[in-house]
Amino acid sequence: MVFKLPRMFSVCVGPHSLTHAGSRAKAHLITLNTFMKNTLLRALNRITELCPVMNENHGAAFVSFMGYVATFAEMSSLHLQGDERFFVLPNAQGKKLVDFLGTACNPNVGYLQSKLKDVEKKSREWRKAPTCYNSQDMLSILSFSDELVEIMSKQLDCIQNGKIEKEIDDEILGAMVQENVHWIGKTSDIAILLPFILSHHDSNSNSCLNWPTISPEGRAELPQIVNVHADIWKFAPFHPITKEAQSLS
């Protein structure tokens, strides 16, 4: 099985796109959504590179890697749920984005959630019983990933087709984005969500953009937050605090 690597979505934004969301709501939406998708794809790329070489002989590292795989599935599921909530539920104007963008704007199709549950279930099983691990089984379970990328790509096309700004007031769209960000933060475990984003977002190639936004108090607590699952983040492409690239070797 051959995966097409790397798989990333391009994002072209100015230095103010992540501020003043009400006045730049569509750019804000596209930027956040694309950045989050790319964190998931970077994790997926790491997994597909590592799963053929990881096995029970790696001891504790294998157990941690299975935790990393389960975290990818968990974060992907959360992102899809958040997208469905954003695009399908009515906003303050009583409008549903899906009604004028089309169903492709909602990537949370049932079978993707089912596949992600399979990934999470098997990785947790292999974490408990490393001797049962089979890399071909893992690759087979991940065989839906190219379809996941295609569905995400079609969704981004929907967002950028020019219909949103014609149908939704910019201030309302900005409030929708902020509410969705709040929902994701409230629904997830901060000790998973924040380090995952930080360790999979390439801040070096987007140095003009401050994402994710973290308060000074939050940054002071960051080492403690990262340390909760420190064994997992060593498989990520970037160190969650220093942002230095991490080798797979």
> Looking at the predicted structure, is the pLDDT value of residue 20 above 90?
no
* Residue 83 maps to a domain: yes
213 in Cβ contact with 62 (< 8 Å): no
* Residue 109 maps to a domain: yes
Range of the domain at 177: 25-190
25 in Cβ contact with 174 (< 8 Å): yes
Query: What pLDDT was estimated at residue 185?
Result: 93
Q: How many helices (H) and strands (E) does the chain have?
A: 11, 0
User: What average pLDDT does range 28-57 have in this prediction?
Assistant: 94
* Residue 85 maps to a domain: yes
List the single range of 101-115, 161-175, 196-210 with lowest mean pLDDT. Answer: 196-210
Quick one: pLDDT band at residue 18, thresholds 50, 70, 90?
very low
* Residue 210 maps to a domain: no
Higher pLDDT, 28 or 249: 28
**What is the pTM (predicted TM-score) of this model?**
0.90
How far CA 6 is from CA of 43, 45, 52, 195, in Å, comes to 11, 7, 17, 22
> Looking at the predicted structure, is the pLDDT value of residue 19 above 70?
no
* Residue 230 maps to a domain: no
- pLDDT of 68-116, one tens digit each? 999 999 999 999 999 999 999 999 889 999 999 999 999 998 899 999 9
Up-side HSE of residue 98: CA atoms within 13 Å toward CB?
14
Query: What pLDDT was estimated at residue 2?
Result: 34
* Residue 211 maps to a domain: no
* Residue 221 maps to a domain: no
Please count the structural domains in the chain: 1
C-alpha 137/C-alpha 69 separation (Å) is 14
Quick one: pLDDT band at residue 3, thresholds 50, 70, 90?
very low
* Residue 74 maps to a domain: yes
> What average pLDDT does the chain have?
89
Q: What percent of the chain has pLDDT over 70?
A: 89
Report helix, strand and coil shares of the chain as percent, to nearest 5.
65, 0, 35
How far CA 47 is from CA of 62, 182, 187, 221, in Å, comes to 12, 28, 25, 28
207 in Cβ contact with 243 (< 8 Å): no
Higher pLDDT, 210 or 228: 228
Query: What pLDDT was estimated at residue 53?
Result: 95
Query: What pLDDT was estimated at residue 1?
Result: 32
- pLDDT of 135-152, one tens digit each? 999 999 999 998 999 999
Q: What percent of the chain has pLDDT over 90?
A: 74
Token pair in block for residue 25: 């709501």
